[in-house]
Amino acid sequence: MESIIELISKVPNVIWSAVIASCLTFLGVLWTNRGNEKRQAALLEHEKQKYQSEQKLALKKEVFLNVARSFADALGIIPKLINLDFTQKDIEIKMADHSGIVAKSYLAAKEDSVAAILNYSAETAEVFISLMKERAVVLDHKKAIEIYQSTIDSANNEKDRIISIMKELNLQGHNNQATFDYLNKSYETQQGIVDRSTASLNEQKSILQPLHMDFAKKCMSEHSHLLSLLPPMTIALRAELENDENSQKFVDALNDNIKRMNVAFDSLFESEEA
């Protein structure tokens, strides 16, 4: 042991300095590498979380933009209901994917957002059911008018055919009175059909016109009503997309748009009634 200690004591200080410096350098490199590893791991974890967050936001954006578009399409149907030639098939085509699109949002949205979507969906459904019931009554009168008009057209065509036969018989010098009496009677029968159908048609028109006007007013009223209920759902979805800086501006702009739209439609209805 003494010999070992003596041997160590004979080592020059320069060498000890070099050894100590090497050890310190080694420890410094070791600590630096460990620090770099920790920073690299933290950076990778941060990038992973950032990527996951971006992917989640992209998914939400796709889902919620589709929800917004689908509800916009649904609202756009309401003014079209005023056009009585807009068919049930047209409505079904417009609404074909609505339920599925809205259902997807229940998986991506937070509970408060889901509640807002459900509330607006229920309100929209109630409005549509009410409007479709009233529209069915209006369409019944429209159908009656079409039937009476078809009957009138058929009777007039038959009258023209009878007149054509009578002219042809006259040209041929046919003088059988019984034949002409039969044709005259047939003509009078068809004229009676025209007169009765015309009276019924005019009656249906007098019913349909104010009924259709009232229905048109209700359509626009309900359209405005649904627009006014948009903010809670829209604000919830904007928050989901991290775009809720100043929702009050949106609400104010929407309300202003509704007022202007109502003024325009009121003016239109007044001109129609004048």
Mean pLDDT by groups of 10 residues along the chain of 274 residues: 55 59 63 65 56 64 88 92 93 89 87 92 94 96 96 96 92 86 94 96 95 94 91 86 73 78 69 58
Query: How large is the greatest C-alpha to C-alpha distance in the chain, in angstroms?
Result: 162
Residue with tokens 């009677």: 185
Tokens (6 digits) for 223:
């359209």
Tokens (6 digits) for 7:
């041997």
Confidence (pTM): 0.73
- Domain boundaries along the sequence of the chain: 66-273
**124 closest CA partner among 28, 225, 221, 198:** 225
